[in-house]
Amino acid sequence: MKRFVVILWLAVATLSWISGAIQEKREFASYKEMRDYLGELYNQKKYADAAALLESVLDRCPDNVLANTFNLAMMRVFEGDLEKAMGALEEGHRRGVFYGLWDFNAELWNPLKKHERFAAFQKENAARIEAAQKKATLKIEVEIPQGYDPSRKYPLFIALHGGGESIAELKPNWTSPRLRSEFITAYIQSTQVAGMRGFHWQDEALTRRDVEEAYKQILEKYPVDPGRVLIGGFSSGGFGSLIIAFSGSFPVRGFVALCPEPPQTLRDEDILTAKTRGLRGSLLTTELDQRVDRQRELAARWEKLGLATEFHITPNTGHWFPKDFEQLLDRAIGHIFSTGDGK
């Protein structure tokens, strides 16, 4: 899942406006410039000014209603004006958006959850997520290696995005010199809706269905060596990669899970069976990841049961990709293929 931040997306329009509460004319060349100024107000705890600014851009930025109404509600909660905070979220619904599965998990929203209209809002939001779920389709984007030759077999790396994200967020981050030069890399987008712009892998049955179907389609189009298939992902995608790797639903040589939620359904017998199949893997995490203790416990279980895995913690980093992730990913791939029977 994504880290909790003030959520703001970019737009390309050129904008200028007056914010009444700020008592000065501000001209902005872009939505990003406005967003940066909003961040300054937030950091200075000028919540009333930030709210006034957001209200002034609702009509001017129709492509950013989701971010602006969410942030407006947040500023109102910080102000202590729960009525206006509730109104901001309801305005978002009136303008056709809906909010993500985990958008209101942070403690700051607890006062708003006691508002008399929040339950109705939450019910309507869930209905909109359900409606979007019915329309969701599997998406696959494949990157071929440098010097690709369709007459030879290649190792395959299946990469799964984080919760609330999509292929667009994953691709720039989940890459490495070895992937670019040696692997067919398949980025898969889940059909499990997390919000208007993102998806997740938390439903184990749907995860198996989606990834198995994607694997089938990839084999039909690309020359994959079925003995050299790896899978991995970030956060919810790390969870999904572990579900697939230990399910045995199709041959997986190894996994690389970054900051995953440890699957609660993973039994010792599943680990021992995977060990018999020769599964190897790496669990990469960060020191400030909120699940690091459970990840450490999972890695200890693997070690105790004799599964060939490595566990690495990047210090002073939160729930995100470490700066040296490309090097860590290539090292993890080397660990998986270190048995001497295949590059």
Look up the pTM and report it. Answer: 0.88
Contact 33, 10 (CB under 8 A): no
pLDDT, tens digit, for every residue of 6-20? Answer: 444 333 333 333 333
- The candidate with the shortest Cα–Cα distance to 17, out of 5, 30, 7, is 30
Mean pLDDT of 31-35: 92
Domains recognised in the chain with CATH numbers: 15-133 (1.25.40), 136-336 (3.40.50.1820)
Mean pLDDT of 83-103: 98
Q: What is the pLDDT of residue 6?
A: 41
pLDDT, tens digit, for every residue of 65-76? Answer: 999 999 999 999
Mean pLDDT of 191-200: 96
Please state which of the ranges 21-25, 129-133, 308-312 shows the lowest mean pLDDT: 21-25
Instruction: Give the pLDDT band of residue 24 (cuts 50, 70, 90).
Output: very low
Mean pLDDT of 81-90: 98
pLDDT, tens digit, for every residue of 136-178? Answer: 999 999 999 999 999 999 999 999 999 999 999 999 999 999 9
Sole residue written with tokens 């450490």 = 296
Amino acid in position 134: K
Instruction: Give the pLDDT band of residue 28 (cuts 50, 70, 90).
Output: confident
CA pair distance 309, 296, nearest whole angstrom: 12
Question: Is the pLDDT at 21 greater than 60, yes or no?
Answer: no
Q: Which residues contact 225 (CB under 8 A, 6 or more apart)?
A: 153, 154, 155, 156
CA pair distance 232, 237, nearest whole angstrom: 7
Sole residue written with tokens 């389609």 = 217
pLDDT, tens digit, for every residue of 100-142? Answer: 999 999 999 999 999 999 999 999 999 999 999 999 999 999 9
Instruction: Give the pLDDT band of residue 312 (cuts 50, 70, 90).
Output: very high
Please state which of the ranges 21-25, 83-87, 124-128 shows the lowest mean pLDDT: 21-25
Instruction: Give the pLDDT band of residue 3 (cuts 50, 70, 90).
Output: very low
Hey, how many other C-beta atoms are within 10 angstroms of the C-beta on 16? Answer: 11
Average pLDDT, the chain: 92
- The candidate with the shortest Cα–Cα distance to 215, out of 168, 247, 176, 192, is 247
CA 320 distance to own-chain centroid: 9
Q: What is the pLDDT of residue 36?
A: 94
CA pair distance 39, 18, nearest whole angstrom: 17
